[in-house]
Amino acid sequence: MPFQLVHGDYHLDNLLFSTDDQVRYTLDFDFTAWRERIF
């Protein structure tokens, strides 16, 4: 599960049962935080 690399608490169930907008927002938010931590 590649999402674990970005956010350790990610579960596949959350992605499957969320709306597309919700997932997109969460992924954008988490990936931004992840990039800020690295750079």
Look up the domain containing 32 and give its range: 3-38
Question: What pLDDT is recorded for position 4?
Answer: 45
- Does 1 score more than 50 pLDDT? no
Question: What pLDDT is recorded for position 3?
Answer: 46
Counting the structural domains of the chain, the total is: 1
Question: What pLDDT is recorded for position 12?
Answer: 52
Indicate the pTM of the whole model.
Answer: 0.20
Residue 39's CB: how many other CB atoms inside 10 A?
A: 5
Question: What pLDDT is recorded for position 23?
Answer: 55
pLDDT digits (tens, 9 = 90+) for 2-39: 444 454 455 555 555 555 555 555 666 666 666 666 65
* Rounded-to-integer distance, Cα 11 and Cα 3, Å: 8
